[in-house]
Amino acid sequence: MSNPPGLPQDGRTQGAGSHARLFFEAPASDTWTARAHGLRRALQADAPVRDQAGGRPVAALALLKGSGLLSALVPVPQGGAGAAVSGLLRAVRELARTDASVALLLGHHLGAMLGLAVHGGDRAAALLAATVSQRWLWTHPLDTDLPTLSARRIGSGWLLDGELHAAAGLHAADRLLLSWPDTRGPRVAASLRLDHPGVGPVRLDDGFGLRQAGGGSLPLTAVHLGETEWLGPAVRPSAPRAGLHTLLQQAVRTEVFIGTAWGALEEGRAYTVTASRPWIHSGVERHEDDPWIQRRYGELALNVQAATELADRAGRAFDLVQAAGDALASEAHDALAVQIADAHLEAAAAADAAGSGIFELMGARSATVANGYDRFWRDARALRLPQRTDAHQRALGRWLLGGAVPLPTPSTPAAAFAAS
């Protein structure tokens, strides 16, 4: 494992890096994780600088579009790779180890791709094919069921007014996938260009974390969606498979948490063994020989490994659910929801603990703007803020005691459970 920029190359690192490299850099298990690893390495050198700058990550977006990851989940008949969900979730995790904003951009795009594929029909298929040929990046808002959006029928189309909110992609997406309830029938889904008349301008959040994710609000003023934008009725709107994209969004956030935790632990460890000085009363010559430092790193490593195992289990279950297609049973869907909820809670806690905990292990000299180690904690907190941890825990406990399955709501995929 190479030292981060600015760290000394001294004798302390000799003989100490090989086992850590195996721990932090296990060989990629599939094509998509390998591609994400290459992209992460390209993003690593200037990650702190881009985080400080915020805004639109122009170079990173170009690399993401050139990676092939955007078309991976598109079904083979539409020109995509038809990849399994688990490999792409691991790709999100890999990117988040260096850049949670880019990881979240990919994750929101994957949610839209699965939403289109599950919706079905000729128009959705055409949009999926265009995504491959045009290398489109998609995102989708979180609150289309809320009173901030008004949608009413106008002839064969719809007229939208109000404001949308999204956690990522508003500054970079080529298309938005929208969905809203229709009192006369199933939910309506549509594709929206960000340069469509009446859309914008985007108002980006000025948050302290996820500074290049492109979260914010999007005003809509008399936006008319005709038949070309409206996807038409879903092929099987009431099937258990219809809700998979909301589960995928929760799984994506889980992976961003896990990647953030791994990134904090890896960079914190590198600084500790190369630059940290022992506490004056520790009685050791090398900081890494301090028993308290060793114990705390062990605790953080156990936390992130536990979250990783839970997420991998959920990823494997997602592959089985995805392969079932329209034959998916509601019991399998609900079991997947529980596994994702388990992993999500553990991952959020691990990211929080690692992102803040590394500073007391690295020491005061690590806490500089130039080092940028604080981005891990800030990104994790920004992603976790919309949630109420106690509500998630209560929902899981209620399910265990015989209550409802802890499903994420369609309007806020990772912020609340429908049964809370």
Q: How confident is the model at residue 91 (pLDDT cuts 50, 70, 90)?
A: very high
pLDDT at 62 over 80: yes
Q: In angstroms, rounded to a whole number, what is the distance separating the alpha carbons of residues 170 and 179?
A: 16
Give the mean pLDDT of 285-295. Answer: 89
Q: In angstroms, rounded to a whole number, what is the distance separating the alpha carbons of residues 399 and 394?
A: 9
Work out whether strand 157-166 and strand 216-225 pair parallel, antiparallel, or are unpaired: antiparallel
Q: Which range has the worst mean pLDDT, 209-218, 257-266, 391-400?
A: 391-400
pLDDT confidence of residue 409: 52
pLDDT confidence of residue 417: 26
In order, the DSSP letters of 13-60 are: GTTTHHHHHHHH-PPPSSHHHHHHHHHHHHHHTTHHHHHHH-S--HHH
pLDDT at 419 over 80: no
Q: How confident is the model at residue 27 (pLDDT cuts 50, 70, 90)?
A: low
Q: pLDDT digits over 256-274, tens only?
A: 999 999 999 999 999 999 9
> Residues 186, 180: contact at Cβ < 8 Å?
no
Q: Which range has the worst mean pLDDT, 120-134, 154-168, 187-201, 394-408?
A: 394-408
Print the SS3 string covering 91-123.
HHHHHHCCCHHHHHHHHHHHHHHHHHHHHCCHH
Give backbone dihedrals phi and psi of 192, rounded to 5 degrees, phi first. Answer: -130, 130
pLDDT confidence of residue 326: 87
The mean pLDDT value of the chain amounts to 86
Give the mean pLDDT of 31-40. Answer: 94
Q: In angstroms, rounded to a whole number, what is the distance separating the alpha carbons of residues 84 and 316?
A: 9
pLDDT at 147 over 70: no
pLDDT at 388 over 90: no
pLDDT at 412 over 60: no
pLDDT confidence of residue 332: 94
Amino acid identity for residue 8 in this structure: P
Q: In angstroms, rounded to a whole number, what is the distance separating the alpha carbons of residues 405 and 398?
A: 8
Point out which residues pair with 162 in neighbouring strands. Answer: 149, 220
The fraction of the chain above a pLDDT of 90, given in percent, is: 57
pLDDT confidence of residue 166: 87
Q: In angstroms, rounded to a whole number, what is the distance separating the alpha carbons of residues 65 and 417?
A: 33
pLDDT confidence of residue 224: 92
pLDDT confidence of residue 241: 87
pLDDT confidence of residue 394: 82
pLDDT confidence of residue 223: 93
Given its phi and psi angles, is residue 141 left (phi above 0), alpha (psi -120 to 50 degrees) or beta?
beta
Query: pTM of this prediction?
Result: 0.89
pLDDT confidence of residue 14: 47
pLDDT at 376 over 70: yes
Which residues, other chains included, contact 369 with Cβ-Cβ below 8 Å and sequence gap of 6+? Answer: 48, 52
Give the mean pLDDT of 80-91. Answer: 96
Q: How confident is the model at residue 7 (pLDDT cuts 50, 70, 90)?
A: very low
Q: Which range has the worst mean pLDDT, 210-219, 271-280, 284-293, 381-390?
A: 381-390
What are the structural domains of the chain? 13-137 (1.10.540.10), 139-225 (2.40.110.10), 240-400 (1.20.140.10)
> Residues 175, 111: contact at Cβ < 8 Å?
no
For helices 85-96 and 31-44, the axis angle rounded to 10 degrees is: 20
Q: pLDDT digits over 308-344, tens only?
A: 999 999 999 999 999 999 899 999 999 999 999 999 9
Q: Which range has the worst mean pLDDT, 27-31, 175-179, 311-315, 379-383?
A: 27-31
Q: How confident is the model at residue 226 (pLDDT cuts 50, 70, 90)?
A: confident
pLDDT at 81 over 80: yes
